[in-house]
Amino acid sequence: MTTQAEVPQSVGADSVFTAAVKVPYKKGTQEIGADGSEVPLQVGAIVMLPDGFKLAPQDRWTEKIKEETKGVYFTQYSEEQENIILVGPLPGDQNKEIVFPILSPNPSTDSNIQFGKYSIHVGGNRGRGQVYPTGEKSNNTVYSATKAGTITSIETGENNSKIVSIKTKDGESFSETIPVGPDLIVDINENVEAGQYLTNDPNAGGFGQIDTEIVLQSPARVIGLLLFFMGVTLAQIMLVLKKKQVEKVQAAEGV
């Protein structure tokens, strides 16, 4: 999945700006829900900002930012890491572009922050996870046989799950439990290899990330740079005028 991000090239100190994360996918796409039914695809995003940058307080949001973030709830990764902001899950059809209001730090009040270029890491996600935080598989992934053997039976278990019983060549019997959602692509009396898929892959989502850069700019540095360019331009003009003057004097003396 290709994630896109729109971040300004430079920002001033202690200023509010926005970073937009675009999560592309075809409108109307559905995925498998926890109960096995088809549900609208959901999306989410994460922005990893440089140290000192953080979610802008709501009292500094403009009317435009309030409109762009309507219905979006932002969370920090942790209390100690304000620079990592998470969003989601959100309905995908209405949130293909997620806007993050960000507050830049002020080097004049924070000695740990310097003016200059910083990296920003952006990630976009669509669809449910394939693994739960406990490490167990969700019903939004493909299931495979742990050992080779012959399928002896397929029965319905708790919550409409499927229990696939397999017997190895050594006579050992074991079973694979398939939760409701993925479709079986094997049948009784079929021989399977270790690692062979027993179901299709119902996952309709994906994750993508992109890295970009932003410059924390000082107004004094910008003014100084402009004055420098003006000085260089003026010096070049003076050199051209002086050259013309010398050429006229040389021409006059030649006469």
The full set of domain ranges for the chain reads 4-134+203-217, 149-192, 225-255
> Does the domain spanning 149-192 belong to CATH 1.20.1280.290?
no
pTM: 0.73
Which residue is associated with the tokens 């398939």? 178
Instruction: Tell me the per-residue pLDDT of 185-195, one tens digit each, with 9 for 90 and over.
Output: 999 999 999 99
Residue 159 confidence class, pLDDT cut points 50, 70, 90: confident
Tens-place pLDDT, residues 92-151: 888 889 999 999 999 888 888 888 899 999 999 988 888 887 888 999 999 999 999 999
* Tokens of residue 144, six digits: 């495979």
Confirm whether 4-134+203-217 and 149-192 share one CATH topology: no
DSSP one-letter string for 187-216: -TT-EE-TT-BSB------EEEEEEEEEEE
C-beta separation of 98 from 90 below 8 A: yes
Q: Which CATH class is domain 4-134+203-217?
A: mainly beta
Mean pLDDT of all residues belonging to the chain: 88
What's the DSSP call for residue 56? Answer: P
Instruction: Give me the DSSP letters along 71-115.
Output: T--EEES-SS-TTEEEEEEEEGGG-SEEEEEEE---TTT-TT--S
Whether the predicted pLDDT of 221 surpasses 60 = yes
Rounded-to-5 percentages of helix, strand, coil across the chain: 20, 40, 40
Instruction: Note the pLDDT of residue 225.
Output: 62
